[in-house]
Structure formats: structure tokens, C-alpha cells
Structure 1
Amino acid sequence: MRILMTAAMAGTLVLAGCTTNPYTGERQVSKGAYGAIIGAAAGCAIASATTKRGERNERCGQGAAIGGVVGGGAGVYMDVQEKKLRDRLAGVGVGIQRDPNTGAINLIMPGNITFPTAQASIRADFYPVLDAVSDVLKEYKDTTITVSGHTDSQGDAAYNQKLSQDRASSVASYLVNRGVASGRVSAVGFGKTQPIADNSSEAGRTQNRRVEIRINPTQQ
């Protein structure tokens, strides 16, 4: 009976933790759901081992429920936050990537839609995008945010470094002004040192001119 109960809860967690991969369109189980399943099984086992035979089924269910929440932890927290960001930012030109190793969420904001050419002042028509990001960040408070600025390889390195830092600082300041706690936010400029595309073509240079907002998972 205990095995059946744990299996039933695991099935429920799998269904709840399924997401659609935005690149393949296939359904998949989130990392948070895997953690919740393991936590549920462990919770049931511990509760059952410390309970009299007649009470084991009830305590198994209670232990599995508690273990599922704890086991899901930061993974579930980030999964839900990612889903909300994808819903709010659909169709605005911002890329959203998930780091498979750390679970961090990375928002990639192309420079041509975020700033006027060679400037660090945010375009007014981009305010609603950052407003949406701010709303989600304020709702999910248990993360830190790293804003990084990047340029292409053209021009003087010192100029590129300053521009990238100024742009990162502009976005970080905007988030703070919108109510995101300043202690959660840091800004850093990388200049031309971290390209994500080939700088030998204009298409590649356009991709490299960007600001990224990295949402770092809570530490448990």
C-alpha cells in the first residue's frame, strides 16, 4: 500500500511538473519535478520507518507531501518563474535561456531594441518589457540578479568596456527604480570579451551587442 501511495503521488508530481520545451515543442519533466519525486519517496520512507504499523499509510502520505515540497525546492521555484517570464515576454524580441547546470534563467536583450545606437539610455518603447521583468522579479524575491552588458568587437576596447558597463548599469537602475530590491541586483560590463556569435559578419555583431539579465537560483 505504501508503494502504491508513493507511486500515485509521484505520478501527480510528474504531471504537474511537465513543461513544453520551447525549442523542440516536446513535453518534458522539469528538474524541479524530479527533485519533488525524490523528496516524496524519501519523505514517505522516513515517516513510515518511525511510525507504528497501523498509522503508516497516513504518515507515508504526510511525509511524501512534505518531502515533495522540500525536494522540489529551488527547481520548482525557478520553473514557475521561467514560465511566467515566457508568458509575459512572448513576442517582444527577448531571448530566454535556462542554464542546464545551474538552473539560472538568462534574459537576452538585443542592443538594437534596448538602446539607441552608441547610447546607454534605455529606449522608451522598451520600458514595458523591463516593467514586465520587474513585476516577475518582485514576485519571486528569493533570487539575485546579475545584469551584464556586451558589445561587438568593433572600435576601441576601452570605449566598448565603458559602454557595456553603462548599459548594464542603466538596466539595473531601471529594475531597482521599479521596486526590485537594490541588494539583489548587480551590474557588470564585459565589453567585447564574451561574444555569442561571429564578429566577422554584421548579423553576428548584432547578436553580440546585448544586455543580459541573469536570474540566479536561491541557495538552499
Structure 2
Amino acid sequence: MKKSTTGLLIGSAIAVGLSGCASSASQSSSQSSASSDAWYQHPLVCGVAGSLIGGGIGYATSSDSDEDKGASIGAVLGAPIGAMLCADTSPKKAQQCPTYQGDIPAGVATDAQGCPLDSDGDGVPDFRDQCPGTPAGVQVDASGCPLDSDGDGVPDYMDQCPNTPAGAEVNALGCEADLVLRDVTFEFDSAKLTSQAERILDDVADKLRGNENVRVRIEGHTDSIGDAEYNLRLSQNRADSVAEYLASQGISVDRMKTVGYGEQQPVATNETKAGRAENRRVELGEWK
């Protein structure tokens, strides 16, 4: 076999191999940006192969007197060509999302800015959110679940008693027992709420709106000063007044039941001013 024919065959074989490496590198890059290329896909290796190809072709196509020169020129020209063939020229997907800087797995739905979807707007993308559908404005943890500071199973935004002791059994309001609405007071000898009472009830209403499945019982109580029958009516009117205010804040009347007990259920002595103040109260409990 002639020298020129042998050189061309060797060069062609190496060229075919190099072409396969370059093709493999391109496919590997398109499949996964995280996976590392095989050793034979490295531009340095491809450059060596390109040098051999160029040298073989240069040797095969040169005259007998110019064999060494042709091989050298071919090797010099072949090296950069081989390296370029195996270089990863596929476009890189830029991180465009301004609000989420973590890794975004393949296949995750994104918006026009390249950000992963966050349907409930809690700052935790849907693909990581273990509590989808959190109401707007509710604070969540890293898993997208509403905070529960006292660990009682009732999230803070629903919890009427947010500082329950660890391990305590609570009702749907997050309380161990009926909640005494401290500072929900009324004008003297009246069922008219004070402005301070309305501010407290605003917070109660916020949490009841978040806890839509719970119904509440509102109880009115008085001290023993005055006529018992009168106190009974006054306590009922005061419980009704609280319910009316909560209804004005968006709580359905179907979720509330009012009861007036008058002076029948004291929690302290009626013989002292301090005791009578404790007995004049409004309580909130779960209505089952």
C-alpha cells in the first residue's frame, strides 16, 4: 500500500473518532449542565487528536521531500481545530430571577422572569412549598408552612392564645380553655364597647377570618352589684354587642353564638373591687 494511502486512512479513522467525541460532548451538554464531560470530550484531548489528524493528512499529501514539513504544518493546524470541535459552545441559561437565587430543578414551571412559580405568594416557590395555599400576608417557615410559635398545632395567624405552654391540649382556637377577652370593656352600665375594646376585637376578628372552620361561643358575665335579672339582660346585651362588632369585621353571624350569664358564674369574690372587676368579663370559646 502506498504511503499516501496509508496516511489518508489513518487520518480518516482519527477524524471519525474525533467527530464522535465532539458529537458526544454536544449531546452531553444539552442533557445536563451539572454532569461532567468524559475525559475524551475534553478540548485538550481533542486538540491532541486534531494534531494527529492534521499531521497524518499533511504527511499523506506531501511529496517525498516535504513529508516532515507537511506533517508539522498539518499538526499545528489540526490541534486548534480539534479543540474547537469539542469545546462546549451550547448557550448557557442565565439566572434571570431577581427574587430566587437557589438552584431551579429541570422541569420546574417558571414565570416570564425565569422565577419558579409561587402561587400563594409566601416567598417559597411551589416546588418546595409543603403548605400551598397559605393566605396572603401570613408568615411562613422555610417549608412554606405558617409559623406556629408555641407548637400547639394551631398556626399563629389563627391562634387566639399564642403562648400556650408546651404539650398543652388546646381547642380549635389554640386555647386550653375559654379565652377571657381582657380589656374588652363597656361604657358604664351599658353594652356600648369602648374604643380600646374595639381594637382588641379587631385582632380577634383577624384570627377568626384565618380560622374559617371554627365557630365561637361568646359569653357575657357581670358582678353581683344590682338586680340579678337586670345583670342577666346586661350580660346578654354585652355578648351580643361583641358579636355585632365581629360581624362588622367580616365574621359570619352563623359562626357565633351568644350567651349571657349575668352574675351566675363568678371567677372571683364580689366582696372586693378587684374581684368584681374580674367577674365583669367577656369570654370566647369554641362552639361545637
TM-score normalised by L of structure 1: 0.54
Alignment partner of 1:174 out of 237, 245, 255 = 245
- For 2:155, the equivalent position in structure 1 comes to 80
Q: Which residue of 2 aligns with 1:103?
A: 171
Distance 1:131 1:18 in 2: 21
After superposition, residues 75-154 of structure 1 pair within 5 angstroms as 76=153, 79-81=154-156, 84-86=159-161, 103=171, 105=175, 106-110=178-182, 113-154=184-225
In structure 2, C-alpha distance between the alignment counterparts of 1:214 and 1:114, rounded to whole Å: 18
**CA contact 2:220–2:261 (8 Å) conserved in 1:** yes
Aligned to 1:52: none
8 Å CA contact retained: 2:184, 2:200: no
CA distance in 2, matches of 1:85, 1:18: 12
**Offset at residue 113 of structure 1 (A):** 4.8
CA RMSD of aligned residues (A): 3.0
2:191 and 2:238 in contact (8 A); partners too: yes
Contact 2:179 2:285 survives alignment (8 Å): yes
- The secondary structure found in structure 2 opposite 1:114 is coil
Q: How does 1:14-25 map to 2 (within 5 A)?
A: none
List runs of 5+ in structure 1 lacking aligned partners. Answer: 1-15, 21-28, 31-75, 91-95
Residue aligned with 1:214, SS: strand
Q: Per the alignment, in what secondary structure is the counterpart of residue 117 of structure 1?
A: coil
Structure with greater proportional strand content: 1
Query: Does structure 2 retain, via aligned residues, the 8 Å contact 1:81–1:140?
Result: no
> Hey, what's the Cα distance between the residues in 1 that align with 2:205 and 2:216?
11
Q: For the residues of structure 2 that align with 1:102 and 1:153, how far apart are their CA atoms? A: 31
Higher helix share: 1
Cα drift, residue 101 of structure 1: 6.7
CA distance in 2, matches of 1:216, 1:131: 20
Query: Deviations along 1:10-50, whole A, 9 cap, x unmatched?
Result: xxxxxx99865xxxxxxxx64xxxxxxxxxxxxxxxxxxxx
**Percent sequence identity over aligned pairs:** 34
Q: How far did 1:121 drift?
A: 0.5
Question: Looking at CA atoms only, which structure, 1 or 2, has the larger radius of gyration?
Answer: 2
* Structure 1 CA distance for aligned equivalents of residues 282 and 231 of structure 2: 13
Report the count of equivalent residues.
Answer: 137
Q: Larger relative CO (CA 8 A, sep 6+): 1 or 2?
A: 1
